[in-house]
Amino acid sequence: MNALRSLWLCVFLSVACIIPATAQTPAATVIAHLEPGTTRSALQAGLAPGVRITGWLPQIRAAVLHLPPGSSANSIRHPKIRSIEQDAIMHPVASGPDPLFPQQYGLANVQASAAWTVSTGVGTVVAVVDSGIQLDHPDLASQLWANPGEIPGNGIDDDGDGYIDDVHGWHFYHGIDSFGNPVPQNDGDLSDGLGHGTHVSGIVGAARNNAEGGAGIAPDTRLMIMRVFGRPDAPYDANGYESDIASAILYTVDHGANVINMSLGGNTDVQALHDAIIFAVVHGVVVVAAAGNNVPAVVYPARYPEVIAVGATDRSDQPAFFSTSGPQLALSAPGVNILSTAKNPPPPNYPADDCPGSLMPPSTGYYGLCSGTSMSTPLVSGAAALLKSVHPAYTPACIRIVLEKSADDIAVPGFDPATGWGRLNAVRALQLASQGGCYTQLLPLVP
């Protein structure tokens, strides 16, 4: 992985620490930034034998190339290629009358119940860029976004978007399988091998008042599932290419997401990912990401100025011991022992340090506790959905300003690098927004 400048991260959810003994060959994957107007066929025609296009990102004029063994990025010469960068790896960032609702202290701390009297997220879509989801979980099955242009299971790309049967989202993956062959982006399997995406999705939008488990902070939003971890031949793999994450972001914009949640991160700045995030923000999508755990600096993509970087607090509103500090931090939210939906059956190494205790099956669904900024981030994403539901014209800059200005200042007065502008307060955010508390000139996110 040295040739790739792979991204490392002290993963916040223990299931994400399952790294295969035989990793891919990341040096064989690069991202080409293209001249305006370049077509896929024109690019392929000028490439050397053995170089294949495995990803196409026209919104940001980029392509993902697989190089044959022994080749290097320096050997590529093409009049339509402006520059080349090596791809990199990211990892998940995770160290009502509903029977488990009383145990969801995180919702109580951010005053979710009071916020629900104003907004429950109706009419919004939150894209969860993660490891997938347990599609039949009783607290999640009814919460999934449905692609209005797609007919399930007919094997046809009904809406002409290039993805067959992308009913609830897509599995973005390209790379090299165990036989050295390129794996294209043609997988609609959203199943969750790691369990990380299932837990994160429940924090955002688990169903409320269904006599099942707990609730999400935005129980009436819909969840667009972008699976970027767990490749087809290794479902427990916690490596995700940044180019695939970029592709997932572009998909969410094209399909109407209002908020993107990324409980993931790494330490490498890849321009294609940044370009995709800028594309999303310019098109009105709020991007929220985990600040990191037990690392010296806020990780990417949370480190980008267009992203709302989220830290973690504990039950007592103290900064979590693992939560990464830094000047990029926007605000914090509860992230220690957060109860949410869990994968059934659990991943092979469950329980573990970041997800202690046994899974709780109140009926047919499973629930568990996990810690990390992976868990605090979806609380902020859900709060952004609550705001977008009642203020659909609010820009990402507006949403950020409102969330920061309404946060409870739990540490030193004003901004501090450990908690940002404070701990999320969902009802105060809605109150401030209703009073016209958005001042975009204070935060020019996009040049």
Q: What is the mean pLDDT of residues 182-205?
A: 86
For residue 445, count other CB atoms closer than 10 A to its CB: 18
Q: Which two tokens stand for residue 289?
A: 């990401």
What residues contact residue 245 under an 8 Å CB cut-off, 6+ apart? Answer: 90, 129, 172, 228, 262, 264, 273, 276, 301
pLDDT at 180 over 70: no
Could you report the per-residue pLDDT of 142-164, keeping only the tens digit for each?
999 999 999 999 999 999 999 99
Q: What is the CA radius of gyration of the chain?
A: 21
Q: Would you say 179 and 199 are in contact if contact means Cβ atoms under 8 Å apart?
A: no
Could you report the per-residue pLDDT of 64-85, keeping only the tens digit for each?
998 887 777 777 889 999 999 9
Could you report the per-residue pLDDT of 343-392, keeping only the tens digit for each?
887 777 665 656 765 666 555 568 988 999 999 999 999 999 999 999 99
Quickly tell me which residue has 């520059």 as its tokens. 83
Residue 258 CB-half CA count within 13 A: 27
Which long-range contacts (C-beta less than 8 Å, at least 24 apart) are formed by 254-258?
254/59, 254/161, 255/147, 255/161, 255/224, 256/125, 257/125, 257/126, 257/127, 257/224, 257/285, 258/124, 258/125, 258/126, 258/284, 258/285, 258/286, 258/384, 258/385, 258/388, 258/392
Please give the sequence-ordered ranges of beta strands (E in DSSP) within 359-428, or none if there are none: 366-370
pLDDT for the residue numbered 439: 54
Quickly tell me which residue has 């940001």 as its tokens. 60
Q: Would you say 357 and 297 are in contact if contact means Cβ atoms under 8 Å apart?
A: no
Give the ranges where 314-372 is alpha helix by DSSP (H): none
Q: What is the mean pLDDT of residues 421-433?
A: 96
Q: List, in order of start, the domains of the chain with CATH numbers.
A: 27-86 (3.30.70), 101-442 (3.40.50.200)
Residue 257 CB-half CA count within 13 A: 32
CA distance linking residue 251 with residue 372, whole number of Å: 27
CA distance linking residue 244 with residue 172, whole number of Å: 5
Confidence of residue 334 (pLDDT cuts 50, 70, 90): very high
The catalytic site residues sit at 130, 196, 374
CA distance linking residue 302 with residue 181, whole number of Å: 33
What residues contact residue 227 under an 8 Å CB cut-off, 6+ apart? Answer: 130, 131, 132, 133, 169, 170, 171, 172, 173, 189, 190, 192, 197
Share of the chain above pLDDT 90, in %: 65
- 395 backbone dihedrals φ, ψ, rounded to 5°: -80, 165
What residues contact residue 58 under an 8 Å CB cut-off, 6+ apart? Answer: none
